[in-house]
Amino acid sequence: MYWYNGKLIESQTLELDINEPGLLYGATVFTTLRVYENSLDSSLTNWQAHCDRLNFSLQAFAWQQPDWQRIHQGARILLQHFPILRITLFPDGREWITGRNLPEDLLEKQRNGVKCAIAQPEFSRNLPSHKTGNYLGAWLAKNSVQTLAAQEAILVDATGNWLETTTGNLWGWRDGCWWIPPLDVGILPGIRRSQIIQWLQNQQMLVREEPWTPKLVTGFEAIAYTNSVVEIIPIHTVKQASGSLQYNPYHPNFQQIRSLFSMTTVSLWYTLK
């Protein structure tokens, strides 16, 4: 079941023209959101931020505007069946919305963390400030580390600085505060990333944006990654050529971020705001 170009379709296939740029070149933009409280209006769902992300890319690429009301309609129909929605837009304004369930092992990963491995520098994301359909670099990176029994890959630049995982933004704890790579190093401005920064700053907590150099990452007590679906996933091991780095997946400060996903905290934050 999916929504395409104004229609709900019950099928496992999608018919596209053989000259479709989205098929030939990955010429699409997309966003993936988790629906909370079965509502697009939930502050945690953050519907408007996801629409803004799509619109930002459409304007940057000078693509045709879609029918936003129709997108909202399709999303409202599919959320009755799926907690995760992926909204894809084509250059000519067509929309394609698919749904899926939460990962079966999500709770296990949230509780105990995952193992990551450093990807080869050539496995980079195309146009990193946008979520385009050309995700080959990230897909190859994640697949390449499976032989190391790693569940995620960390993308790096040519000098070895850590950028982001293939699916999320990085967070690290050291020296009494949170550290994140800055956007200008070439990472996606994640919606969950922005939410967490605002929430932490509202609580008068320092968030430092600094490049994650090979030296800096050795000093973190704990690291994790975030995205709009998984919330926050601790990382207990990072495999790299020079050996593995170990971090505490049970660090008490993870609770600072986890608490932000409670409805009470979110409601209070919006009231104060």
Beta strands in the chain (DSSP E): 2-4, 7-9, 29-34, 84-89, 95-100, 114-118, 152-156, 162-165, 169-174, 177-180, 207-209, 222-227, 231-240, 243-246
137 shares a domain with 52: no
In a domain, 33, yes or no: yes
78 and 116 inside one domain: no
| Residues 229/261, Cβ–Cβ less than 8 Å | no
Q: Domain boundary at 46, 68, 100, which?
A: 100
Q: What is the pLDDT of residues 184-228, one digit of tens each?
A: 999 999 999 999 999 999 989 999 999 999 999 999 999 999 999
Mean pLDDT calculated for residue range 173-177: 96
Indicate if the pLDDT at residue 272 is higher than 60: no
- Domain of 142 in residue numbering reads as 106-268
Residues with Cβ within 8 Å of residue 241, at least 6 apart in sequence: 118
- Residues 112, 220, single domain; the answer is yes
Query: 70 phi and psi, to 5 degrees?
Result: -70, -35
Residue at a domain's end among 100, 115, 150: 100
Average pLDDT over residues 143-153: 95
Per-residue CA distances from 166 to 24, 70, 120, 169 (Å): 22, 30, 12, 9
110 and 96 co-located in one domain: no
Residues 142 and 225 in one domain: yes
Percentage of the chain modeled with pLDDT above 90 = 91
Give the predicted TM-score (pTM) of the model: 0.93
pLDDT score at 261: 84
**42-96, pLDDT tens digit by residue?**
999 999 999 999 999 999 999 999 999 999 999 999 999 999 999 999 999 999 9
CA atoms within 13 A on the CB side of 273: 14
For residue 253, the domain's CATH number is 3.20.10.10
Residue 57's CATH number: 3.30.470.10
Neighbours of 267 (CB within 10 A): 11
Contact call for residues 98 and 43 (beta carbons, < 8 A): no
Q: Which of 100, 130, 163 is the last residue of a domain?
A: 100
What average pLDDT does this structure show over 93-112?
Answer: 96
Instruction: Give the total number of structural domains in the chain.
Output: 2
